[in-house]
Amino acid sequence: MQIQYFGLSSFKITTKEATIITDPFHKDTGLVSPRGAADILMLAEKNNKAYSQDSGVSGEPFRVTDPGDYDIKGASISGFPLDQEGKFITVFLIEAEDMRILNLTHIKEWNMKESEIEDLGEIDILILPVGGNTVLSASQAAKVVNELEPKIVIPSHYKSKDLIFDLDPLEKFIKEMGGKKEETDKLTIKKKDLTEEGFKLVALEALR
C-alpha cells in the first residue's frame, strides 16, 4: 500500500487493486486542486465545495459519500457520521491489504462514543487533522492519538504555502507528540512493517 498527500484532508491511497482519492479540495482554497485517476472517491462532506471538487479526478470512480459499509475492489470501507456543531462530517475506516486505516478527514470535534470506538478495533494507520481553527487543534489531535493508539500517525489539514485557510503549522502538533517525525513524499507500507511498540509519526510532503 502507498499513501500520498495532496494537502488539507485530501490523500491518494493506492492498494494492489484500487486507487482511492479523498476529499479533493477546490482552487478557492489557494491550492491547486488534486488531479489523477481513481477507482474510489471518498467525500466526507459531499455538499461542501471546498472538499468535493472532483473535476480533476479521472476515470469512473465509485463515490463513497455517505455513512455505511462498502466493499469495492478489495477495500472494505465503513463510514461513520460525526456531529460537528450541527452538521455531519463522515469519517472513514478503510480495510485493505490486511491493514486498517482510520481517516478523520477534517473534523473539529472528536466525539465518537466509547462503544463506537471499541467497535473500530485496532487501528494501524491514523490520518487526522491537526491545524486548529476549523479542525482539531494540535492538543486535541494528540489526545485522539493517545486514545486510539495507532501504529502510524499521518497528520493533515495544517498550514501550507498558498493556503488561504487560517491554520496552525505542522510543527505545533509535532511538538505535542514529542518532536520526532519521519518525513517522506510517500508512505509505502506492508502489514509486516508495522511495529507493536509505540507509534511512528509520518509527515508527508504534499504532491504538486
Q: What pTM, to 2 d.p., does this model score?
A: 0.96
What pLDDT is recorded for position 24?
97
23 close to 51: Cβ distance less than 8 angstroms: yes
* CATH assignment of the domain containing 31: 3.60.15.10
What pLDDT is recorded for position 195?
76
What pLDDT is recorded for position 182?
95
What pLDDT is recorded for position 208?
73
Range of the domain at 92: 2-204
- CB neighbours of residue 75 within 10 Å: 22
CA dihedral 18, 159, 131, 20 (to 10 degrees): -10
Low-confidence ranges of the chain (pLDDT < 50): none
What pLDDT is recorded for position 197?
72
Q: What cell does 189 get?
A: 507500507
What would the pLDDT profile of 126-140 be if each residue is shown by its tens digit?
A: 999 999 999 999 999
Question: How many distinct structural domains can be found in the chain?
Answer: 1
What pLDDT is recorded for position 113?
87
11 DSSP β-pair partners? 5
